Every structure is written in C-alpha cells, then in structure tokens.
Chain A
C-alpha cells in the first residue's frame, strides 16, 4: 500500500530533550515536506526537500532540523524542544507533478512539558 509512515504517533517529552520524528514513504516521491498543525492556524510548512541532500526552510523552521540522506526518509529533529513546539506534525510526500498534491502521513502529536 502506498503510504507515508510517521513514528511515533504520540510523544510526550520534556523541555530540552532532543527528539526525532521519523518519516518514510514507499512511493519513490522526490518531494517531501513537514508541516505543523495548530488550532486556528491551519497547517504551516516547516521544511521541505526536493530530492536527496536538497532541503530548504519553510515558513516556520526555527527550532527544527531535517535531513534527506535517502529518498524515502525525511526525519524531523528537534534539538532542544520547547513548549511552543507542542503541536500536531505531519510529514508529506509528492511526485514533481502538482496534480497529485501531497500524500500525508497520519500525524505525530507532540507534547513538550
């Protein structure tokens, strides 16, 4: 089944403790992206990648890092999480053609206390 898989689904952590949210897609998509969803704000792009070793900042990149060492994986790293990073995070992937839009993962609900 074609899908984007994120792990974990739920995570509660403490301020300052480094964490990684993994994302993997099995569709051989070139483009991958991370979004965060907050009430009243919709989804905002954190980082995106157009291919292996090519990443760039989205609208809200502060406090996050990403890497794209392999085509299928695009982990999101929070080096020193803070409470304002408590949010619902989505990884997504797409082929270069816009007609397919992005395929989204099921989300990771992160709480930083």
Chain B
C-alpha cells in the first residue's frame, strides 16, 4: 500500500528557513499536501501541489516536488515562533474516495 515518511523533529532559530522533507511511495499520487496542526487544533491545509508541477510558491512557503525520487519538501522562509507546530505531508490519488495518506508528522520547534 501507500507509504509516506517524514522525519519526526526539526528545530530552527527564529528568522532562519525551515525545510521539512517527505518521501512517498505511491507513483499514482495526484495531489500532495502540506497540513499544519497546532496544539489542540485540527489540521489546517497550508498548500498543495499537483503531481505535474515541480514547484509552488505561496508567500513564505515553497513546495518542491521531485516526482522521480518521490520526494516532497516544504520550505518556510523567515520562520517565526508562530510556525511551531506539527507539519503533515499527505498524498492522494484523487478520486475513488479521495483518501489522504498521511505521514507521521514533523514537529517543528522554533527557538528564539
């Protein structure tokens, strides 16, 4: 079945860039997503990338997709303390129930 992997923790200093990485196995993934989960809250969709794209930029967020290596990354520029959260990578072969397969999540800690 599908598998999505992420590293568990990342610590950065405020103002630096953060890069969260994700690898997936399903070659038929149509959409790949990044979700953010703050303590005690649900998941908030940050951004997505369609599988035929290499890069997508949205303000401080840059998503890079290497489809050959099945590698997805999320770069957060000028990381702030408010960015501290768990970040989930998810992939979907859209259609047929639109099931999202999630990674285990990366806990981002931003230090002053």
Is chain B found bound to chain A in the same assembly? Answer: yes
- Taking beta carbons and an 8 Å cutoff, which residues of A are in contact with B? 4, 31, 33, 35, 40-45, 48, 50, 56, 58-59, 90, 92, 94, 96-107
Contact B102 A58 (CB under 8 A): no
A96 contacts across to B, CB distance below 8 A: 98
Chain B residue nearest to A54 in the complex (CB): B97
Interface SS, B side: strand
Contact partner of B50 among A40, A56, A99, A105, CB < 8 A?
A99
- Assess the B105–A104 pair: CB atoms within 8 A: no
A–B Cβ pairs within 8 angstroms, 14 of them: A31-B97, A33-B97, A35-B102, A42-B88, A42-B102, A43-B88, A58-B99, A98-B94, A99-B31, A101-B33, A101-B48, A101-B100, A103-B45, A106-B41
Given that A90-B42, A98-B30 are contacting pairs, would A45 and B104 also be in contact in the complex, using a CB cutoff of 8 Å? no
Tell me the smallest distance from the CB of A8 to a CB of chain B, in Å. 14
The answer to whether B92 has its CB under 8 Å from any CB of chain A is yes
Q: Name B's A-contacting residues (CB within 8 A).
A: 1, 4, 30-31, 33, 35, 41-45, 48, 50, 88, 90, 92, 94, 97-100, 102-105
Which of B1, B41, B92, B100 neighbours the largest number of chain A CB atoms within 10 Å of its CB?
A: B100
For A58, the chain B residues whose CB sits under 8 A away are 97, 99
CB distance from B10 to the nearest CB of A (A): 16
Given contacts A98-B30, A99-B50, A101-B31, contact A42 B104 (CB under 8 A): yes
Using CB atoms, name the residue of chain A closest to B104: A42
Contacts of A97 in B (CB 8 A): 94
